[in-house]
Each structure stands twice: as C-alpha cells, then as structure tokens.
Structure 1
Amino acid sequence: MAVQSPPAPRLAFVCASTPAARKAKARLEEIYGASTSAEADIIVALGGDGLMLQTLHRNMRRLKPIYGMNLGTVGFLLNTYRETNLLKRLKKARQVTLTPLRMLATNTRGKVSEVLAINEVSLLRSSRQTARIEVAVDGQKRLPELHCDGVLVATPAGSTAYNLSAHGPILPLGAGLLALTPINAFRPRRWRGALLSRTSKVEFTILDPKKRPVAAAADSVEIANVAHVEVTEASDTKLTLLFDPEHDLEERILKEQFAP
C-alpha cells in the first residue's frame, strides 16, 4: 500500500504596498494558491522588516508561523526572495521563537494603554527641553533623574534596530537579557545603559510631564503625554518565525557584533 504524502501547507501571502511586492504576491498566489491569514497554516510576508513587524502584530493571536521574503532594504527578519521551491524551503526552515515586550503606558489624564512590542519600547521627549525620567527596575529606583532625549528597552531581536543606533549592545537571542539604553543622555553624563534579565520589570516615571512632555512607543504604536510606563516581558505570547538554514537569525545577530 502506497504511503500518501502529507498535504501541502495552506499559505497566506501578505505584502507591502510597493509595486514589486504586489507583483510578487500575485505571482506566488498563482503558483501556490491563496488562503486567508485565518485559514492558512503558514503566513508568507513579502516586503521589508517594517512589513514583517506589521504582520507579526496583526497575527499575534493566531499563533501561526510566519516566513518572510525580502523585497525591502535591510531584510534582517526576512529570507531571500525566490519564487521557486517555496514549499521545500518551508519544509526545511528553522523555527525561531520571539517573546515580545508588554508596555503599560499611563498618560497624564490617567488613561492606561497596553501595547506589545517585538523590537523595543522607547520613550522620547516631545518638546525642545530634555526629558527628565526616573528609572526603576524590579521596584528599586536605579536612576532618580535621567536627563535625556529618551530611553528604550529592547529585546534581543530588536537590539540590532533602534537600540543599536542609540549605541546600545547587541544581544544574542538566547542570552535571556533585555537592553536598557539611554538616548543622548545628558545626566548622568557617563551612563551608557544596562543589561537586565528578561524577567525584569522596568518602570519609567516622567518628572514634570506637563513642562517636559514625553511620548512612549511600542514599535510603531505611540502614546502621547505619558506620566508612567511599565515594561515587562509578555511571557504569555510566543511568536514563531521561519528562516532558511543559511539565514539563521541567531547567526545574523552574532555577525552584527563583528561588523566593521
């Protein structure tokens, strides 16, 4: 009796708004068929890292693996774009699990907003004056008054993005750490940030928020005029990315640490 091969996975293709991405989506749907994101076994994202982050956020509760193909610029979270042998690539792909951050932001009117961030939670001044922020970790005040343009908490996956631009450290995926990084710190002048356990609770209290307003952002979602921000790991949420063996995310993060 012949052994039947398992059915091919159902694929949902999502794309950026660029002509190249739209053309690729139409072509791939013609070759491999098209399912909705709710019906699919795997979601295939076509675009850049921004599109990948959007796709992860939109499908965060679906618990479905996402495989990206780069039609943008950097493509750190995506694989090389090729039309051929996609099903074979998906079968051989390695899984990487990401855990986002949970931001609880309270504005000056007392409204609390909860947003998840895959890369980082960042606080940025909203006026010409420097922000003044108290920083506490696990309930203990570590910096009574940080004078800065802003400050951020980055995941390992996000440590090569805005965090790296702010001269923060690159974190290996398995390090179990978060990066707490200041953005143009004026005082304490020599403070360059800290490495924290992934289980840490980081709290930011804005000092004089009316005179020195601050906005908080979880990836691309921004909350204006915050008074207090709490950041913890969203341990109840797991995101699965698929990578070709030759495009291993852990290896790419390691290579970034030796980039000239």
Structure 2
Amino acid sequence: MSRRIAFVAAQTGEAAAAHAALVARYGEVPLDQADVIVALGGDGFMLRSLHRHMARALPVYGMKLGTVGFLMNQYGLDELESRIEHAQPTVLRPLLMEAVTEAGSSTTSLAFNEVSLLRQTKQAAHVRVLLNGVAKIEELVCDGVLVSTTAGSTAYNLSAHGPILPLGSQLLALTPISPFRPRRWRGAILPAITEVKFEILDPYKRPVSATADSHEVRDVTEVHIRESREQTVTLLFDPEHNLEERILNEQFEL
C-alpha cells in the first residue's frame, strides 16, 4: 500500500540533506493530505513534532539524525515505504500539567516524557506532595521532583536515579531530584490513573519552576498532574528495534 508521506526535519545540515534525498526518492505531500509523518532529527525534535502535530492524529515514524534517538528508528534511504508498512505502532498517552503561578494565572501543557519541578535560586525547594488529594509527604526538601511516563522513564527520570518503567505497564514514576529531606525517600511508582499535586511551600523565598517536556512555567505555587484521558499519539518502530525492547534493554546497560 502506498503511503502519503509528509516529512518534517530538524534545522541541521544532516537532517536537511536527508530530507532532500528522501523527498527526491519518495516525493511528499502537505501535512493536511498525509496519512503518516516521517520526522528526521533527534529525540528533542521528535518531542517538538509530537506537540506541534498531535491534533492531526497521524502516526509518526522517526529516523535518527541527531545526538539522541531513543524515540527514533535508524536512518536509511532505502525501502522507507516498506519499513513504514511493517512498523509496529506504540501508543503514547501524555501527562497533562496544570500550573498555577504566584500571579494567579493558570497554564496547561502536555508532556510525553515528564513534568519536572526545579528550584529557581540557590535555595532548596520545599514541596508538599499529594496523591489523589491525600498528602503523602508534608515537606520534601529537594532541588526538584518529577513525574515521568513510561516512555520518558529512560530520559531525565533515569538520570535522576528513577526507575525504568516497562512500556504498557500503566505506571508513572515519581522521582525526587537531589532530595535532602526525607533522607531515605527515593521516589515511588504510581498507577497511571493517580492524580499528583505539588504545593510549593514558601514560594516567594524559594521560587520553583515547572516544565512539561520543554514548556517552562516559572514562579509556580501549585502544580496538578494527571495522565491525559483525551489525547494520544502513535509512534511507529521497526520490528527489530521497537520501543518496548529498547526500554527492556536499557535496564541491562552497564
């Protein structure tokens, strides 16, 4: 079956050259006429593409032309249509973040990897952690704290010593960043239906920002996070290198 392909490429020389070669080989259609998007770049570009084109509800097949490519397939000029046709779909459900600021404004954003809170000054953040409306930690003293999806569990979450979550496990990772108090708390694994709320204690003296993937909101006073029930995206992966297998293998990297 012939696919109507729309290409999107990162603004790098390597991605631009690959874009030109692929269009010359396979042609392309505008996004509003496509039935699949091929994204050329790294993971950062993939995340931006998912946010930018999510409303189109098109599957996205990525090819690695950047420094990090966990969400991408290997780049190759040959047999692209066959690779797309035999690719395995992976459905991702993003996190929905609602952040309230000191000024009283409210901002909503989606995150496919994680929502992270970080201190804005040299002062440690003091954060109350609530799950489904119940306070679980009255005062977490830390550089920050994050909530990660399964797909994002191998990104910032892993760097912060959080757990790797199997794809499709219906779980979230709640991971502190450089925690000071409580001393022995290293995070939690939560059911994906959990609603997480962070309340910032003393936000004027100890300001905190909240970031959903790359969208930052500064001077927040409280942040609500839950898995989106309305929006999903579908990534396509080559069968021999699917995302579930990558997440599994990541747990054995030394």
The TM-score bracket by the shorter chain reads over 0.9
User: How does the TM-score come out when normalised to structure 1?
Assistant: 0.97
Q: Does 1:246 align with 2:248?
A: no
Query: Which residue is equivalent to 1:50?
Result: 44
Q: Does 1:65 align with 2:59?
A: yes
Query: Which residue is equivalent to 1:3?
Result: none
What is the identity, as a one-letter code, of the residue corresponding to 1:195?
A: I
Partner Cα distance (2:104, 2:54) in 1: 27
Partner Cα distance (1:103, 1:257) in 2: 28
Partner of residue 177 from structure 1, selected from 171, 179, 188: 171
Query: Which residue is equivalent to 1:164?
Result: 158
Partner Cα distance (2:118, 2:55) in 1: 29
Partner Cα distance (1:123, 1:100) in 2: 17
What is the identity, as a one-letter code, of the residue corresponding to 1:187?
A: R
- Structure 1 residue 61, shift from structure 2 partner: 1.1
Query: Which residue is equivalent to 1:35?
Result: 29
SS of the residue corresponding to residue 43 of structure 1 reads strand
Partner Cα distance (1:207, 1:223) in 2: 17
Partner Cα distance (1:24, 1:179) in 2: 36
Q: Does 1:203 align with 2:192?
A: no
What is the identity, as a one-letter code, of the residue corresponding to 1:255?
A: N
- Structure 1 residue 154, shift from structure 2 partner: 0.1
Q: Does 1:191 align with 2:170?
A: no
CA deviation string 1:121-165 (max 9, x = no partner): 000000110000000000100000000000000000000000000
Identity, % of aligned positions: 56
SS of the residue corresponding to residue 151 of structure 2 reads coil
Partner Cα distance (2:32, 2:224) in 1: 32
Partner Cα distance (2:154, 2:104) in 1: 33
What is the identity, as a one-letter code, of the residue corresponding to 2:64?
A: N
- Structure 1 residue 74, shift from structure 2 partner: 2.5
Partner Cα distance (2:70, 2:191) in 1: 24
Unaligned runs of 5+ in 1: 1-5
Partner of residue 124 from structure 2, selected from 127, 130, 141: 130
- Structure 1 residue 38, shift from structure 2 partner: 2.0
CA RMSD of aligned residues (A): 0.7
SS of the residue corresponding to residue 20 of structure 2 reads helix
CA deviation string 1:88-133 (max 9, x = no partner): 1011000000000000000011100000000000000001100000
- Structure 1 residue 73, shift from structure 2 partner: 1.8
Unaligned runs of 5+ in 2: none
Partner Cα distance (2:149, 2:31) in 1: 26
CA deviation string 1:178-233 (max 9, x = no partner): 00000000000111000000000000000010110000000000000000000000
What is the identity, as a one-letter code, of the residue corresponding to 1:131?
A: A
Query: Which residue is equivalent to 1:153?
Result: 147
Partner Cα distance (1:57, 1:150) in 2: 24
Partner Cα distance (1:64, 1:158) in 2: 21
User: How does the TM-score come out when normalised to structure 2?
Assistant: 0.99
User: Segments of 4+ in structure 1 off by > 2 A?
Assistant: none
Q: Structure 2 matches for 1:210-249, cutoff 5 A?
A: 210-249=204-243
